[in-house]
Structure 1
Amino acid sequence: MLQPGRGPVDGDHYLTADPGLVHWGHLPNATAEPVLTVGSGETVTVDTISHEGILADQGRDPTAFFAAAGIPAAGLLQDAVELAASARDHDPAVHGPHVVTGPVALRGARPGDVLEIEVLQLRRRAPYGVISNRHGKGALPGEYPLLPAGAPPDAPAPTVSLVATVDAGGLGRLPTGDGRHLSFPLRPFLGIMGVAPATEAAVHSVPPGRHGGNLDVRHLGTGARLFLPVQVPGALFYAGDPHFSQGDGEVALTAFEAPLRATLRLTLHTDRATRSLAARLRAPFAETETEHLVLGLDPDLDEAMRHAVRDALTLLTDRYAVPGPVGLAYLSAAADFHVSQVVDGVKGVHGRLSKADLSSLNPPLW
């Protein structure tokens, strides 16, 4: 267990998920007060809390909720227990479920700059988490969650929350309910990384956008770099929605939701080329060691796909001077486009372009 203030801290700064400081259900906006201010290139270790196990439809009592799965009170994170027991208002009809830590201000950040978040380390804070299907949501609303036997067809959809654990070999372990279990590899990442949008209105935590937020792209794990266009002075970066793993689509509604301690390097880009590319793209963009990632975001999945393809073409033309028709042919022949998630109102598609494929064009224009 990585309780607040205990265990390894790898960054220049350490930010706890203090229940009095985190945002629950809404993201930081232009009026949010930073809880930390750092310089470009500095690293921050951030504790994150999973919302699963503390929500109202789970009793808002993690001690009782996890006890039903055989997890004792001594095995719970103190910050999660304190947040659930606090007087913080959380109405699921108004608020999103997510808990986010921050915001962190970047000295000198101006609208139009680009904030790079490099994921350096992700440590599991607990050896368990939750996968939920609730309120008739997910990819199969009206079919799942299943109604209890004998319930009338118009009965409210229940919440089905399954507690999964991490076994000694580092695999996820999901009981089937009959003595067997499913095992699967873990691939931790933060579902939410974002900057404050340029609004004083409340920003719901569920739909992603140009500010980033609830992107739920499973490739944004250790070693990945996410680029977010700064929208307010200071950028006001935040992180949350930690996952131990997620399949593309996130079809039940949640992934393997579980708490992480993340160490992130925050770098501010003010050069003309990076600012110009971010301004021309419709969504944030990212890189891994081997791939460029472009994102398409829209309530309509077909339109999200079109946005991802358009942004991939923009990346090829702006960075590598590839003519549009040639770029489109390359994308069709060699690039992969996946559904990130279909459960956050705004649906997501991510395109993956191999850096090795583009190596013959190196160096890029910038």
Structure 2
Amino acid sequence: MCQGDDPNCRDFETHRLDFRTGLAKERRAFLKSGFAASGGAAALATAGISLVPPALAQASAARAAGGPRLHSLPANAETVHWGYFSKSLAPRLEVNSGDYVTIETLTHHANDDAERMVQGDPGAESVFLWTKDKKGVMRRGAGPGDGGGLGVHICTGPVAVRGAEPGDVLEVRILDVAPRPSANPAFKGLAFGSNAAANWGFHYKDLLTGDKPREVVTIYELDATGSRNWASAVYNFRWVPVTDPTGKVHPTIDYPGLPVDHGRTERRFGVLKNIRVPIRPHFGTMGLAPKEAEVVNSIPPSYTGGNIDNWRIGKGATMYYPVAVPGALLSVGDPHASQGDSELCGTAIECSLTGTFQVVLHKKADLGGTPLDGLDFPMIETAEDWVMSGFSYPNYLAELGPDAQNAIFAKSSIDLAMRDAFRKMRGFLMGEKGLTEDEAISLMSVAVDFGITQVVDGNWGVHAIIKKNVFAGQA
């Protein structure tokens, strides 16, 4: 059956719209279910698996006038911003607390293989349009002019939440994540992603064999219908200098959306033969607009989220973000099919995805005495874990002065990120779980898993994970 990936189907447009906006029958049924209608935060809190206590859940649900609505936000040249966050961006959508939003996201690496990831897809084609005279999306990054490549991620949004004000907390539940199928009929039923072992990778100056240094891109294939849960490599190629439509030559991957001409590359098929990479679709970049600067590079993560690059930010997870500007201004991008802790070589499997989210606003006045009171960093919650995100500089925009967006790339370290993750977990265990400092330190050493989130985003990350069942005896 056509899943919106067969242009020869007479109902192609209808099927594709259904797939891309998440309005398939089973999703509609879920969104009309008692869980959705009642505002599921209260149910989760009662079950003891949420940071949101029942009273806070009820207060937040009471503001959802008329019950939750379902919205959709496609990805195209009119709905995305490329490579930056900004408190001055006009919202592409405005929603109420409790509403559901299906958001399409595009990978900024789609032009690594435009035949598989752009061709025939109107939204992607509009974003990646680049001729001598025109770009579909002009500004690509936080630098002057068109950004100069200072920031790379295609972000869909922003989505404004009515009533959100600085000091509030925005809860974002990730209800569903699905790969965006290739629109090229030659690749019906498939989706594709790109992994770049690039010049910003941790490995780049530590190569053992072959030409040094070098950049290598590997294209991966996924099943877009969901019938298999792993990805396989299709081919890889050495990056060769790319001449962009303006005539500028790019010897390295130094600008987002460069159109790769595979007439000039040597594609090596059969790489990573018989290896299956488990997929865990997630959003590398998701967060709110910060207040400290007008235009903020999308690469370094910070206190309002952004490019955290933690594979746990996928289906079933909940994010909690401190609101810094009116409306919160939520944007989603940098979609990944899979990634390991560290994102070592430069990228994950960068693969366009569509997500369905529920946004719940918690007002500052209601937060007193709750785990969310005073939250000043992005926090991850899953069904089994609480996850603290530590960064080299928790709020580098405020900590590093006027040149913060350049300075951060020279100042990051795992030591600093580990210290931040430790402090955040200590604060959580003492403040939320009522432990003494000595108890918290002991528990961290014996029951908390610290992991390297990423070492490629300027502001390096370490996450700290505590299992919820550690506290089963407190109930």
Q: TM-score surpassing 0.5?
A: yes
Where does residue 300 of structure 1 map in the other structure? 413
Which range moved further: 30-39 or 77-86? 77-86
Amino acid at match of 2:179: R
2:87–2:295: 8 Å Cα contact kept in structure 1? no
Q: CA, structure 1 residues 293+357, in 2 after alignment: closer, same or farther (shift >3 Å)? A: same
- Structure 1 residue 276: Cα displacement: 7.4
Q: Give the SS at the match of 1:358.
A: helix
Q: CA, structure 1 residues 45+84, in 2 after alignment: closer, same or farther (shift >3 Å)? A: same
Matched, 1:77 2:121: yes
CA distance in 2, matches of 1:2, 1:212: 32
Matched, 1:107 2:162: yes
1:17–1:49: 8 Å Cα contact kept in structure 2? yes
- Structure 1 residue 215: Cα displacement: 0.5
CA distance in 2, matches of 1:123, 1:129: 13
Q: CA, structure 1 residues 178+262, in 2 after alignment: closer, same or farther (shift >3 Å)? A: closer
Where does residue 308 of structure 2 map in the other structure? 215
- Structure 1 residue 25: Cα displacement: 1.1
Where does residue 169 of structure 1 map in the other structure? 228
Residue 152 of structure 2 is aligned with which of 73, 97, 103?
Answer: 97
CA distance in 2, matches of 1:356, 1:172: 32
Where does residue 44 of structure 1 map in the other structure? 101
Residue 438 of structure 2 is aligned with which of 322, 325, 329?
Answer: 325
Q: CA, structure 1 residues 205+144, in 2 after alignment: closer, same or farther (shift >3 Å)? A: farther
- Structure 1 residue 354: Cα displacement: 0.7
CA distance in 2, matches of 1:72, 1:97: 17
CA distance in 2, matches of 1:72, 1:201: 32
Q: Give the SS at the match of 2:291.
A: coil
CA distance in 2, matches of 1:316, 1:123: 35
Residue 138 of structure 1 is aligned with which of 201, 218, 237?
Answer: 201
1:190–1:241: 8 Å Cα contact kept in structure 2? yes
Amino acid at match of 2:343: E
Matched, 1:17 2:63: no
CA distance in 2, matches of 1:142, 1:323: 44
Residue 385 of structure 2 is aligned with which of 277, 291, 301?
Answer: 291
- Structure 1 residue 143: Cα displacement: 3.5
- Structure 1 residue 300: Cα displacement: 1.7
Deviations 1:218-264, CA, capped at 9 Å, x for gaps: 11111100100000011011101101110000001100110111000
**Alignment of structure 1 residues 108-257 onto 2, 5 Å:** 108-126=163-181, 127-134=191-198, 136-143=199-206, 148=211, 158-167=214-223, 169-175=228-234, 177=268, 179=270, 180-257=273-350
Matched, 1:272 2:400: no
1:297–1:347: 8 Å Cα contact kept in structure 2? yes
- Structure 1 residue 92: Cα displacement: 7.1
Deviations 1:240-296, CA, capped at 9 Å, x for gaps: 110111000000110011011100010011222378746355x21111001111110
1:133–1:253: 8 Å Cα contact kept in structure 2? yes
Where does residue 51 of structure 2 map in the other structure? none
Q: Across the two proteins, how many residue pairs are aligned to each other? A: 339
User: Structure 1-normalised TM-score?
Assistant: 0.86
Q: Give the SS at the match of 1:208.
A: coil
1:278–1:284: 8 Å Cα contact kept in structure 2? no
Q: Give the SS at the match of 1:130.
A: strand
Amino acid at match of 1:5: L
User: Which structure has greater strand proportion?
Assistant: 1
Larger radius of gyration: 2
- Structure 1 residue 144: Cα displacement: 5.2
Amino acid at match of 1:123: A
Q: CA, structure 1 residues 43+158, in 2 after alignment: closer, same or farther (shift >3 Å)? A: same
CA distance in 1, matches of 2:178, 2:361: 25
Deviations 1:326-364, CA, capped at 9 Å, x for gaps: 0110010111011010000101111110100012223xx
- Structure 1 residue 318: Cα displacement: 1.4
- Structure 1 residue 217: Cα displacement: 0.8
CA distance in 1, matches of 2:295, 2:220: 33
1:25–1:95: 8 Å Cα contact kept in structure 2? yes
Matched, 1:260 2:353: yes
Deviations 1:61-86, CA, capped at 9 Å, x for gaps: xxxx344xxx4975x53222221115
1:66–1:72: 8 Å Cα contact kept in structure 2? yes
Amino acid at match of 2:374: A
Matched, 1:359 2:472: yes
2:118–2:124: 8 Å Cα contact kept in structure 1? no
Amino acid at match of 1:119: I
Where does residue 17 of structure 2 map in the other structure? 5
User: Which structure has greater helix proportion?
Assistant: 2
Q: CA, structure 1 residues 146+97, in 2 after alignment: closer, same or farther (shift >3 Å)? A: farther
In structure 1, the gaps of 5 or more residues are: 59-64
Amino acid at match of 1:319: E
Which range moved further: 195-204 or 115-124? 195-204
CA distance in 2, matches of 1:92, 1:108: 31
Please give the root-mean-square deviation of Cα atoms over the aligned residues, in Å: 2.4
Amino acid at match of 1:98: H
User: Structure 2-normalised TM-score?
Assistant: 0.67
Amino acid at match of 1:84: F
Q: CA, structure 1 residues 100+198, in 2 after alignment: closer, same or farther (shift >3 Å)? A: same
2:371–2:432: 8 Å Cα contact kept in structure 1? no
CA distance in 2, matches of 1:143, 1:115: 41
1:320–1:361: 8 Å Cα contact kept in structure 2? no
Q: CA, structure 1 residues 278+142, in 2 after alignment: closer, same or farther (shift >3 Å)? A: farther
Q: Give the SS at the match of 1:356.
A: helix
